[in-house]
Amino acid sequence: MSTKTSDLLTAAAPQAVTVVRGISDDQLDLPTPCQEYTVRDLLNHLFQVVVNFQELAARRSVDWSAQPDFVTDGWRDRFADETGRVVQAWSDPSALEGVSAGMGMPQEVVGGMVLLDVTVHGWDLARSTGQPYQVDPAVVAELTALAARLAPTARERGVFGAAVEPADTGDDLAHLLCLTGRDPAWSPAV
């Protein structure tokens, strides 16, 4: 079975996995567009996202306060495995029904949030480590609508940064990044 969410995750996840596999150990302390996170910190956050959202797909509560270190032996392969599991978890149509016990939002929105994190943090990591990154246009379109909807609350809670005015380039990914408070031209160079 599949759902719209799992289909979009199937389109987005391989690019994020490729970026994670391409991160060398000597890049773990580099800065990221998420000012409070180094590459290692952001990897740990993204790992926690793909693990916790498996539970959220089953409408189980998760503990976001736990801060495990996932960047240990074999982390690149484990990230790929966990990302495959999160895609599978959201492929069950029942995952999109009702309200999340863990987030208090419609499950459909929660599924969109994991897609948003995988996609945008994939870009963050690619940008931080000098890797190419492309996103399927259908994923960008879906996430732009979701980010616009979530932006006021996400900014209030510090999840999104202040909106960045997008350059009029016609680049839909850049527009999405701006909605989440990222500068599409960000570079790790000081």
Average pLDDT for runs of 10 along the chain of length 190 = 95 98 98 94 98 95 91 97 98 95 88 97 98 97 95 88 78 93 86
Q: Into how many domains does the chain fold?
A: 1
105: in domain: yes
The predicted structure's pLDDT at residue 162 = 85
99: in domain: yes
- Chain centre to alpha carbon of residue 55: 16
141: in domain: yes
- Chain centre to alpha carbon of residue 155: 16
45: CATH: 1.20.120
The predicted structure's pLDDT at residue 101 = 81
The predicted structure's pLDDT at residue 171 = 86
185: in domain: no
Say if residues 184 and 166 touch (Cβ distance below 8 Å): yes
Torsion angle in degrees (nearest 10) through CA of 163, 167, 173, 175: 40
165: in domain: yes
Say if residues 45 and 36 touch (Cβ distance below 8 Å): no
Is the pTM for the entire model greater than 0.85? yes
186: in domain: no
25: in domain: yes
Give the tokens for residue 128: 């931080």
